[in-house]
Amino acid sequence: MAYPEFPDHSRFTPVASVLAGAAEGEVTVRGWVYRTRSSGKLAFVVVRDGTGILQCTVSKAKVAAGDFDAACSALRESSVVVTGTPAADDRAPGGYELRVSGFEVLHYAETFPITQDLGDEHLLDNRHLWLRSRPMVDALKVRATAFGAFRGFWDSQGYTEVQSPSFVSGACEGGSSLFDTYYPDESAEGGKSFYAHLSQSWQLYAEATMFGLERIYTLAPSFRAEKSRTRRHLTEFWHGEVEAAWVHNEQMMAQEEAMLAAIITAVLARNRPELERLGRDPAVLEAVQPPFERLKYAEVLELLNGMGFDLAWGDDFGYREEKALTQERTQPLYITHFPREKGFYHRPDPADPKVLVCHDLLAPEGYGEIIGGGERVWSPEELAARIAEEGMEPESYGWYLDLRKFGSVPHSGFGLGLDRLVAWLCGADHIRDVIAFPRTMRRTTP
Ligand code: 4AD
Ligand code: MG
């Protein structure tokens, strides 16, 4: 078909303003057919745009014959331009309908491949089309608010946003979840290429950048070749990370609490309708109130073993453990004093060097870890010793060791998994429900 001229934007009214009762007289909306029901004389076409859905009532007697046929025959997702007069109507979704005087189809859609009950894999295969669905649109709106509030909070605290590379040479979070990427170098001997890794965290680079700016943050993808196929693991996830000089572990935790409160406040202010449509009771988020409870790793170990787990000192808490721990909780929970093996960069507690001055924050309702952070080893000797102790290659960390040689200072930081946070805010069943194109071990398409 020949496409019509690009329409004049000034003519169109967003569905949301019709639903708000703000539109006067005849208006024109444009969007996509969401569903249609028609009889011989009347067609109810629900049209959605980026702002909402609106029932358009087309009466055969009141429009040109061609317009009525178009309204009846345009399949779901056809793009349309509809003119009419808004009228309050309790039976219509949103309380308003459009009494139509003109109905134009810009493009007749083919039969949409997504119908009810086709299963998760089908929806994932068709994610490029499923993104038009209400649950996706609603979750993406909550997500956008959370991202904006993360930025807004750290800006308001005087932190500077900084970017670090995605191609890196050393591991920050251990070798087992490191992605190797092909890095073409035509000049190399025999035309061979070498491998680079994809960044698991900006942290090591942040610690370098911090010396100039003191307080910094980023919002960027991180990559983990996760063997875990759980409802909270992505291979590419969005990481909100913060690093600050002269800040201790407890102070960082207090700032995280304020950040979470700010994000929740923003979502409640902006996304109540989205939360409600997603089946998430906003009261659950309203009730979240820092300061959050703090438990030591040793205490959590005991708690979990009391629940029937069989964990020994040094064991990691995975999805199952964290789920059991947080399932019945309504407030986030901090776990502190993890065993020394948790990470080479965390500062061992001077009072008890078998544990670290660090923390994880677990979301309630079974969602589990959303933040990992802590105070960094800042003494050059101690850092070199920790790298050796963990059996890591000091050559890969030469520049990182360098940072401790020139005016080292106490400092702390953390990483927030934004996809996990948004999954909890939305009450989503799976992390992939809150990101447009989820990347997991099994999926890089669409
Ligand atoms: O606990 P992690 O591994 O901590 C770090 O990467 C630190 N270097 C951060 C820092 O101090 N700057 O990761 C931080 C958070 C986790 O708490 C979790 O929310 C999220 O990142 N995360 C994931 N989210 C989704 N899918 C995955 N595979 C994730 N791995 C970590
Ligand atoms: Mg962690």
Tokens linked to 236: 């590419």
DSSP 114: -
Fold of 124-434: BirA Bifunctional Protein; domain 2 (3.30.930)
Band of pLDDT at residue 188, cut at 50, 70 and 90 = low
pLDDT tens digits, one per residue of 72-130: 999 999 999 999 999 999 999 889 999 999 999 999 999 999 987 788 899 999 999 99
pLDDT tens digits, one per residue of 374-421: 999 999 999 999 999 988 888 878 899 999 999 999 999 999 999 999
Write the CB contacts of 61 (distance below 8 Å, at least 6 apart in sequence). Answer: 41
**Minimum-distance ligand to the CA of 412?**
1
Distance of CA 410 to the CA centre of its chain: 30
Q: Is there a contact between 144 and 271 (Cβ–Cβ < 8 Å)?
A: no
Residue 392 confidence (pLDDT): 86
Tokens linked to 344: 């080479």
Write the CB contacts of 308 (distance below 8 Å, at least 6 apart in sequence). Answer: none
Write the CB contacts of 72 (distance below 8 Å, at least 6 apart in sequence). Answer: 36, 38, 43
**Minimum-distance ligand to the CA of 200?**
1
Three-class SS state of 296: strand
Q: Tell me which of 3.30.1300.10, 2.40.50.140, 3.40.50.720, 3.90.1310.10 is the CATH number of domain 15-107.
A: 2.40.50.140
Residue 395 confidence (pLDDT): 82
Write the CB contacts of 221 (distance below 8 Å, at least 6 apart in sequence). Answer: 166, 236, 237, 238, 239
Q: Report how far ligand 1's centroid is from the alpha carbon of 414 (Å).
A: 9
Measured distance CA(80)–CA(77) in Å, rounded: 9
Measured distance CA(379)–CA(68) in Å, rounded: 77
Three-class SS state of 232: coil
Band of pLDDT at residue 184, cut at 50, 70 and 90 = confident
Identify the bridge partners of residue 346 per DSSP, sorted by sequence position.
376
Distance of CA 23 to the CA centre of its chain: 34
Measured distance CA(17)–CA(293) in Å, rounded: 43
pLDDT tens digits, one per residue of 312-362: 999 999 999 999 999 999 999 999 999 999 989 999 999 999 999 999 999
Measured distance CA(136)–CA(104) in Å, rounded: 27
In what helix (H) or strand (E) does residue 87 lie, and over which residues does it extend? Answer: strand 79-88
Tokens linked to 127: 């994610």
Q: Which tops the pLDDT comparison, 60 or 11?
A: 60
353 cis-preceded (ω within 30 degrees of 0): no
**Closest alpha carbon to 244 in 11, 410, 84:** 410
Residue 223 confidence (pLDDT): 98
Write the CB contacts of 166 (distance below 8 Å, at least 6 apart in sequence). Answer: 198, 199, 220, 221, 223
Residue 145 confidence (pLDDT): 98
Place of tokens 């948790």: 342
Residue ranges around ligand 1 (CB below 6 Å): 172-173, 200-201, 203, 224, 226, 233-234, 237, 239, 241, 369-373, 413-415, 417, 419-420
Q: Which of 3-17, 58-72, 200-214, 241-255 has the lowest mean pLDDT?
A: 3-17
Residue 115 confidence (pLDDT): 84
Q: In the chain, where are the structural domains located? A: 15-107, 124-434
Q: Report how far ligand 1's centroid is from the alpha carbon of 122 (Å).
A: 29
Count CA atoms within 13 Å of residue 405 on its CB side. 6
pLDDT at 2 over 60: no
For a pocket test of ligand 1, which of 226, 369, 376 has the largest count of ligand atoms closer than 8 A to its C-beta? 369
Identify the bridge partners of residue 83 per DSSP, sorted by sequence position.
28, 102
Q: Within a 10 A sphere around the Cβ of 338, how many other Cβ atoms?
A: 24
Place of tokens 């932190």: 159
Segment 201-218 shows an average pLDDT of 98
Write the CB contacts of 299 (distance below 8 Å, at least 6 apart in sequence). Answer: none
pLDDT at 193 over 70: no
Residue 185 confidence (pLDDT): 73
